[in-house]
Amino acid sequence: MSIQLKVPSVGESVTEVEIGEWLKKVGDSVEKDENVVVIETEKATVELPAPESGTVTKIVKKTGATAKVGDVIGEMEKGAVEKKKPDRNEQPSKQPTKAEKKEVRAEPPREKKPASKEAEVQARVMPAARRVMAVAGLTAEDVEATGPGGRILKEDAERAAHPEAGAQEKEPRGSADDGEEEVVPMTLLRRKIAERLVAAQHTAALLTTFNEIDMTAVQELRRRYQDRFQRKYATKLGLMSFFVKASIEALKEFPALNAEVRDTEVVYHNYHDIGIAIGAGKGLVVPVVRRAERLSFAEIEKAITDFAERARENKLRPDDLQGGTFTITNGGVFGSLLSTPIINPPQSGILGLHAIQDRPVAVDKQVVVRPMMYVALTYDHRIVDGREAVTFLRRIKELIENPSRMLLEV
């Protein structure tokens, strides 16, 4: 019996997707709930599982094609999957079975390297890229890395595994020899990011205010309790949980920054779903920590760590990125000293964090060196006044410089 593989509903606002890597080719057997194809949405990457066990008989939409929710992208024939023991002497095909994938991973590298060097190379390979390389039988030396810090991304591995596809995606302009320009289609995620940023500039009255924060107290707390915190909760005590907690307290005092404009009305949210901007392999994503006001420091840190790991592996679900009432972004992890973040529509505020630098400051009329961070608040001036924005940011400063006040709620 023929079974159609259709694009599933991947979020109420998602109507179009891009077909990613086909994990199975025509003729491959597949078990029920085994993933068949990767689907790229404007918000996240999802994998389509087989509804029944059987054999893939047709690929309707190839990698890189666009499709709408409900479109048929492939077909398979229902039937029992015969499990056969893999022949170790058999050469692996371009897309081997699960058992063969393990065998490919177990093969020694082409060139023997010191263990420490090999570990260093493997650390630069992102998990999603590692899977593609294992299927194609590639090593890190075969792949040109384009990620930050020399990291090998999934796209890098796919280009190395399918050079002919890469040649189609990158159409050179002008002379083929000069290499002065190349045209690369924007991914669905990148197009959506562009649309939302432009929409924010066109629909909201954006203004940014700045302040600086002495991070001495937070750094001392982290230094003093880090080991105990990590043993008890199995996660590190980072900076972000302090700023999430401080933002919630400040948002309670200035609810307009936790609101949104809907037509001619202002909608105030009596809950705090905090978006945390994370740089992933394919662009910036903003997963949301739901009802953050109910969470402890440890629960916030665990949620953010989980989001970061899944973002690196392109495993965030569309639901992870829906909604959000306020956003925090930390450009400091990339070395940014100062910036003006753009709000995430329809939100009315975003808090930008930056790099911590030791700088001379005046304390009790004495010049001392302290770890200082510039912070920026971009807000929608349609519903947030300048006085509210400045006072909000000053409240953040007070709470971070005296973190015990967050625990006492004073």
Q: What is the pLDDT of residues 151-162, one digit of tens each?
A: 788 788 888 887
Query: Residue 380 has what pLDDT?
Result: 95
Residues designated as active site: 381, 385
pLDDT greater than 60 at residue 123: no
Band of pLDDT at residue 206, cut at 50, 70 and 90? very high
The residues, any chain, with a CB within 8 Å of residue 122's CB and separated by 6 or more, are: 130, 140
Identify the pLDDT of residue 197: 74
Average pLDDT over residues 302-328: 89
Residue 113's pLDDT band (boundaries 50, 70, 90)? very low
What gap in Å lies between CA 410 and CA 403, rounded to an integer?
A: 10
Inter-helix orientation angle 154-161/127-136, to 10°: 10
* SS3 call for 29: strand
Q: What is the mean pLDDT of the chain?
A: 82
Structure tokens at 327: 């956003």
Q: To which residue do tokens 């065998």 refer?
A: 103
Taking the C-alpha atoms of residue 259 and residue 140, their distance in angstroms, rounded to an integer, is 47
- pLDDT of 104 reads 44
Q: Which of 81-85, 135-139, 327-331, 373-377 has the lowest mean pLDDT?
A: 81-85
| Residue with more model confidence, 102 or 268 | 268
- pLDDT at 88 > cutoff 70: no
Question: Which secondary-structure segment (H or E) carries 330?
Answer: strand 326-330
pTM of the predicted model, to two decimals?
A: 0.64
Least confident window among 72-81, 219-228, 337-346, 395-404: 72-81
- Where do the domains of the chain lie, and which CATH numbers do they carry? 2-78 (2.40.50.100), 98-175 (no CATH), 189-408 (3.30.559.10)
pLDDT band at 170 (very low <50, low <70, confident <90, very high): very low
Q: Which helix (H) or strand (E) holds 224?
A: helix 216-233
Residues 6+ away with beta carbon under 8 Å from 253: 392, 395
Assess whether pLDDT exceeds 90 at residue 390: yes
Residues in CB range of 326: below 8 A, 6 or more apart: 247, 251, 257, 258, 272, 273, 274, 275, 347, 349, 350, 351
